[in-house]
Every structure is written in C-alpha cells, then in structure tokens.
C-alpha cells in the first residue's frame, strides 16, 4: 500500500514539474500570472539587476515585473511587450543575457537614447552640472555635464556616465559636490575671448538658458559669447566688459540673473536714433538682424544703415511713425518683441545672403522638386539660381527674380508646384531652336572682357545672355561658376560623339585640361561639319567655329539642359 502511495506522489510531482516546464516553454507569462514559473523569472530578473525586490509568495506577475521585463527586452533587442514569451524566456535563461548595468553603460554615451538618461540628467541638473531641459537623448550637452561632474569628483573624465559615475551620482548626498561648490573651490576662474573648453561650454549653456546666447554651446569663447556676456552684464547692472569674471559667473551660477525676455521688455521703452551709441543700440541691431532687416556689424552705433533697417521694419509692420520714421521709438521696439511682429522674411521674402533656419526648409523643398541637389543652411548663389528656375517653371514672372517672396513661398509649398523634371519636359526642340536663333542673331557682336551685353560679350556672358533671354534659365556670368552650375543642374556629356544640338560646351583653352576657361553653344552638324557658336577672344567677336582638333583636345564636357 505504501509503495503505491509513493508511486502516486512521485507521479504528481513529475506532473507538476512537467506542467511548470510546459508553462515556461509555451505559455505566456503576463500581469496576473502566478506560480513557480513567475518566481523563476523574477529571480532571474533580480540576478540581472532589472528588478530590485526578491520574489515573495504567491509569486504574482505584477506591474513592476512587467516593467522589469520591458527593460530586459529593450536591453536585449527584443520586442518590448512586457510579456514573457518564448523569445524572452530563451534570452533570459540563455548563456549571456545583457545585464541592466551593461545596458545602462551602453546607453550612457553620446548618440544613444533611453529613459534612464533623463533620470541621470535630472540628477546632474539638481547638482547644477546640466543646463536645459532633461530628455532621453545623450547629446553633447549631457556629455559635457558628465565630464565636468567626473572632473569635480576625481573620476576619469570620459564624458560617458559609466557605472562608477552613476553609482556616485545616485549614491549618498554627502559624497557629492555641487557644480556651484566645484566652481567655488576652483576660485571661479575668469573666462574671456579666445578661451575654450568645458567651462566655456557651461557658461554658454547658462547664458542660453536665460536667452542671451543663441548659438551652439561649443566651448569656444568667440564674438557671439562676448555679445551674450555683455548683454547679460548690462541687464544685471554689472560692468559691461564681455569678460566673464567672478561676479558675472557667480550670478550665473546662482541662477539669480535677470533673463533676456525681461531685459528686452525694459529696453523696449528706450528710444534710440541716428547717432546714438551703446548697448541699447547694439541690442536693437541684434533684434533687427534676427528679424532679417539688418545685415551690418553689431557695432552699437546707430548708423544710416541701421536707420534704413528701422524704416523697413516700420513699413513692414505698418507703424505710422511720421516725422519719427527711422527712429526706434518705444512703439517700434515693443513691436519687435511681440507675437504680432512681421519679419523681413514675411514681408519681403528670403534672398541672397540670408542665414535663417527657414532657408533649410526652402532648399529641402527645392531639392524634393528637383531644383537642387542638396539642402543649404544659407541662401547662396546656387539657391538663388534654383529659385529663379522654379519661378520661371511656375510662371512667377512678376516676382522679384531669385527672391523667395511670400507668393513664391506659397507656390513652393503647394501641391501643384511644377517640378524641375516637369519643367524640363516642357522644354525641347522649340526651346533649343529659340536659344540658337538668338545666338545666331548676335553673330558678329564684339568680344570684350569687360562686356556689356547685348552690345558686347565674353564667352560665359554670351551663354548666360542667350539662355536667360531665350528660355529664362539663369546662369552665372563667371565662367567657372557657370560650368559648375551646369554640372550640378544639367546632364553632363563627357563624350563628344554624344553631343546634341543646343548642348552647352565647356573647354580648358590650355592643354592641361584642369580648369573651365571657355564656353560655347553646340550647333550640331552644319554643312557636314560639327560646329558651335561662341564669343571668341581670338576673333574679337561672336563667331561660328568648326569643332576642329584644337578644340577637341581641350574639350571638358557638355551640358544638356533639356531631356534627350
């Protein structure tokens, strides 16, 4: 009888073990699950560092367990469901699962992301090392803050928040040195133009948080940092030097300095006009620059150029200044800081030389439509050429040439904007013949290096004139720039046998063939010989020339501006 009972107990135990194994192998563990399988998972999570508490009966799969599982899945490149499926179980009980410490070490370095980074940044911010809003990205600002924290605590200054750094950062408060204590202990070293390093980057970060500094906290004390320091000093009643001496740095470190918006509000009531000097004028110049109305030096001198910029601002913002037209009155300055302000970009558009974040959006759209090969952060000559092409293609003849006027911007953003490919498809033999007809009508016009089209030409301005006047394609008049524009925007023809009528030709008139020095328009075969028309310095006029050996030896490339 005892033997039989023993056998029954043994069978029950084996059955329970097989059931547990089956649960681990095939049954999903999720919130609400209980039993030995949950216990084993919780123990493993604790061993790997993902869960802090030890499993306790009745071994229930709780929300905290789900959170720990999600962290483990994220660290081990699994789908972050928070549910223990076969893949998660295999990784959890495999040979080399990634521990939580290893995962934290991996994400606490530049370029990585993770929720835990935000907690690290918050801790650094409370200690004064981190400026800005904590987020989940380990960026340049985070690395600098970590590097200074490490330096302040005698750790290896790597900028990576490794386990030793994190253990100290999240450890007992009595072991920590705040940034203010560190700076005080370091005697608040004076920073000035030409300095570089982490302390400069921290200074820039503090100024940026208050609104005085708008650039990147790159650790280089240049003119932009000098200006920000001067404005901060002026706003807070300090001696205005642009040098971050002890008093300036102490005020910044304590976080008690007056912010830029408050300073702007105070200065908006101060009237300045032609001939005035000082930081109030410099602040006006900076505001006009940011709004696009002024491109001159930030000199602090109210020059005629500043007066003209104020006039343009008043006109764009419909300010009836009367006899004070061109004077930065309180009404004018208050409008500059208001939400209703109209920038020069809003009123006049974007043009050559502009350096505004919107330029990148404009060029990205031009690239998407095929008018540019790349995006730009500054409105350069290639951008202007692309805008001209866009305006011609989209029949915006009444707009300022090469300027992204409000109307051009609206068309650029619209769904029915004509792409460069569609524009080219509209060009063809009629357009080619139009260019050639105009070119031939200019035959015999004199060649002059300092030409005045259409009375006289040099080679590149002859091509520029024919293309612009006949078909509206605007090219540079400088030979190398023109050739490089054609390389960028048109189809390059390298083999002379592939040339077609209307192609633009580029040569190096010297035998080394390394530099664009001459331009022409290809006519194709005329009277049995291949010929082109160009403004010839040798003939002192616009002539038709056979494509003889001398030119063949110096041919660089052709540019086809219409589809084949």
CA angle in degrees (0–180, nearest 5) for 178-184-187: 145
Instruction: Identify whether residues 11 and 84 lie together within a single domain.
Output: yes
Tokens representing 98 are: 């990634």
Tokens representing 313 are: 């601002």
Instruction: Identify whether residues 414 and 500 lie together within a single domain.
Output: no
- What's the pLDDT at 13? 43
The answer as to whether 112 is a domain residue is yes
Please report where in the chains the tokens 């205005």 appear, as a residue: 240
Q: pLDDT for 64-73, tens place per residue?
A: 999 999 999 9
Q: Which region among 104-118, 426-440, 463-477 has the lowest average model confidence (pLDDT)?
A: 426-440
The answer as to whether 190 is a domain residue is no
- What's the pLDDT at 27? 55
Domain at 524, CATH number:
3.90.1720.10
Please report where in the chains the tokens 């390394």 appear, as a residue: 514
Domain at 159, CATH number:
1.10.101.10
Question: In which band, very low, low, confident or very high, does the pLDDT at 38 lie, cut at 50, 70 and 90?
Answer: very high
The answer as to whether 416 is a domain residue is yes
Instruction: Identify whether residues 134 and 48 lie together within a single domain.
Output: no
Instruction: Identify whether residues 472 and 541 lie together within a single domain.
Output: yes
Tell me the C-alpha distance between 88 and 352, whole Å. 57
The answer as to whether 394 is a domain residue is yes
Tell me the C-alpha distance between 251 and 249, whole Å. 5
Q: pLDDT for 199-254, tens place per residue?
A: 899 899 999 999 999 888 899 999 999 999 999 999 999 999 999 987 898 888 87
Residue 423 has pLDDT above 90, yes or no: no
Give percent above pLDDT 70 in the chain.
Answer: 94
Residue 18 has pLDDT above 50, yes or no: no
Instruction: Identify whether residues 34 and 154 lie together within a single domain.
Output: no
- What's the pLDDT at 20? 46
pTM for this predicted structure: 0.45
- Last-in-domain residue among 42, 68, 98: 98
Tell me the C-alpha distance between 325 and 35, whole Å. 83
Q: Is 489:482 a contact under the CB 8 Å cutoff?
A: no
Q: Is 550:513 a contact under the CB 8 Å cutoff?
A: no
Instruction: Identify whether residues 26 and 126 lie together within a single domain.
Output: no
Tell me the C-alpha distance between 161 and 184, whole Å. 24
Give the highest mean pLDDT range of 79-83, 106-110, 518-522: 518-522
DSSP state of 496: G
- What's the pLDDT at 142? 93
Question: In which band, very low, low, confident or very high, does the pLDDT at 17 lie, cut at 50, 70 and 90?
Answer: very low
- What's the pLDDT at 563? 63
CA atoms within 13 A on the CB side of 126: 9
Residues 412-432, mean pLDDT to the nearest whole number: 82
The answer as to whether 494 is a domain residue is yes
* Number of structural domains found in the chain: 4
Instruction: Identify whether residues 435 and 553 lie together within a single domain.
Output: yes
The answer as to whether 543 is a domain residue is yes
Tell me the C-alpha distance between 78 and 90, whole Å. 11
Domain that holds residue 394: 357-425
Residues 337-347, mean pLDDT to the nearest whole number: 88
Instruction: Identify whether residues 72 and 26 lie together within a single domain.
Output: yes
* Helices H / strands E in the chain, number of each: 25, 6
- What's the pLDDT at 564? 54
- What's the pLDDT at 257? 87
- Last-in-domain residue among 49, 72, 98: 98
Tell me the C-alpha distance between 449 and 479, whole Å. 12
Instruction: Identify whether residues 392 and 444 lie together within a single domain.
Output: no
Instruction: Identify whether residues 380 and 492 lie together within a single domain.
Output: no
Tell me the C-alpha distance between 396 and 429, whole Å. 23
Phi/psi at 527 (5° precision): 55, 40
Strands 541-546 and 529-536: antiparallel
Instruction: Identify whether residues 431 and 553 lie together within a single domain.
Output: yes
Please report where in the chains the tokens 């800005």 appear, as a residue: 132
Tell me the C-alpha distance between 515 and 468, whole Å. 24
Q: Which helix (H) or strand (E) holds 520?
A: strand 518-526
Burial of residue 538 (CB within 10 Å: 0-12, 13-18, 19+) is: exposed
Residue 10 has pLDDT above 50, yes or no: no
Instruction: Identify whether residues 437 and 526 lie together within a single domain.
Output: yes
Q: pLDDT for 443-491, tens place per residue?
A: 999 999 999 999 999 999 999 999 999 988 889 999 999 999 999 888 8
Mean pLDDT for all residues in the chain: 88
Residue 378 has pLDDT above 70, yes or no: yes
How far out from the chain centre does Cα 132 lie? 19
Tell me the C-alpha distance between 63 and 82, whole Å. 9
Please measure the distance between the N-terminal and C-terminal CA atoms of the chain and give it in whole angstroms: 100
Tell me the C-alpha distance between 94 and 110, whole Å. 30
- Last-in-domain residue among 425, 459, 484: 425
- What's the pLDDT at 276? 93
Sign of CA dihedral 88, 93, 95, 96: positive
The answer as to whether 490 is a domain residue is yes
The answer as to whether 236 is a domain residue is no
């Amino acid at each position: 009888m005892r033997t039989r009972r023993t056998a029954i107990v043994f069978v029950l135990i084996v059955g329970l073990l097989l059931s547990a194994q089956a649960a681990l192998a095939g049954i999903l563990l999720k919130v609400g699950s209980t039993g030995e399988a949950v216990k084993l998972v919780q123990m493993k999570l604790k061993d790997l560092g993902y869960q802090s508490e030890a499993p306790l009966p009745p071994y229930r799969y709780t929300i905290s367990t789900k959170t720990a599982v999600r962290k483990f899945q994220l660290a081990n490149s699994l789908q972050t469901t928070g549910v223990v499926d076969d893949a998660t179980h295999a990784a959890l009980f495999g040979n080399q699962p990634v521990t939580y410490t290893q995962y934290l070490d991996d994400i606490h370095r530049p370029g990585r992301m993770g929720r835990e980074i935000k907690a690290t940044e918050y801790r650094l911010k409370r200690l004064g090392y981190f400026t800005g809003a904590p987020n989940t990205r380990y960026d340049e600002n985070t690395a600098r803050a970590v590097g200074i924290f490490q330096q302040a605590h005698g750790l290896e200054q790597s900028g990576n928040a490794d386990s030793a750094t994190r253990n100290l950062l999240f450890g007992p408060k009595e072991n920590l040195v705040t940034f203010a204590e560190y700076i005080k202990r370091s005697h608040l070293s004076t920073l000035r133009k030409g300095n570089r390093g982490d302390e400069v980057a921290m200074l820039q970060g503090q100024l940026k948080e208050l609104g005085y500094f708008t650039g990147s906290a790159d650790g280089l004390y240049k003119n932009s940092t000098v200006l920000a320091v001067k404005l901060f000093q002026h706003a807070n009643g300090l001696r205005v030097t642009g040098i971050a001496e002890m008093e300036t740095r102490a005020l910044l470190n304590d976080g008690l300095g007056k912010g830029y918006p408050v300073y702007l509000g105070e200065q908006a009531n101060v009237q300045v006009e032609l001939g005035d000097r000082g930081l109030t004028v410099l602040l006006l110049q900076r505001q006009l620059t940011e709004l696009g109305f002024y491109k001159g030096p930030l000199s602090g001198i109210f020059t005629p150029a500043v007066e003209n910029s104020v006039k343009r601002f008043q006109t764009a913002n419909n300010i009836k200044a009367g006899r004070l037209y061109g004077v930065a009155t309180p009404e004018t300055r208050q409008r500059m800081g208001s939400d209703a302000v109209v920038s020069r970009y809003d009123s006049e558009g974007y043009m050559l030389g502009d350096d505004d974040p919107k330029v990148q959006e404009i060029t990205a759209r031009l690239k998407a439509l095929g008018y540019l090969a790349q995006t730009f952060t500054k409105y350069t000559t290639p951008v202007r050429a692309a805008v001209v092409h866009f305006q011609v293609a989209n029949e915006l003849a009444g707009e300022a040439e090469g300027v992204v006027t409000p109307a051009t911007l609206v068309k650029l953003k619209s769904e029915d904007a004509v792409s460069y490919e569609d524009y080219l498809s509209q060009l063809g033999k009629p357009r080619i013949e139009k260019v050639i007809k105009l070119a031939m009508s200019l035959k015999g016009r004199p060649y002059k290096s300092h030409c005045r089209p259409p009375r006289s030409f040099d080679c590149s301005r002859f091509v520029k004139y024919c293309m612009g006047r006949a078909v509206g394609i605007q090219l540079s008049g400088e030979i190398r720039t023109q050739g490089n524009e054609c390389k960028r925007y048109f189809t390059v023809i390298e083999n002379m046998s592939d040339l077609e009528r209307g192609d633009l030709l580029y040569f190096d008139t010297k035998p080394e063939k390394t530099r664009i020095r001459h331009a022409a328009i290809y006519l194709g075969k005329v009277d049995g010989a291949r010929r082109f028309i160009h403004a010839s310095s040798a003939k002192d006029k616009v002539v038709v020339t056979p494509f003889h050996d001398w030119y063949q030896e110096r041919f660089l490339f052709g540019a086809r501006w219409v589809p084949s």
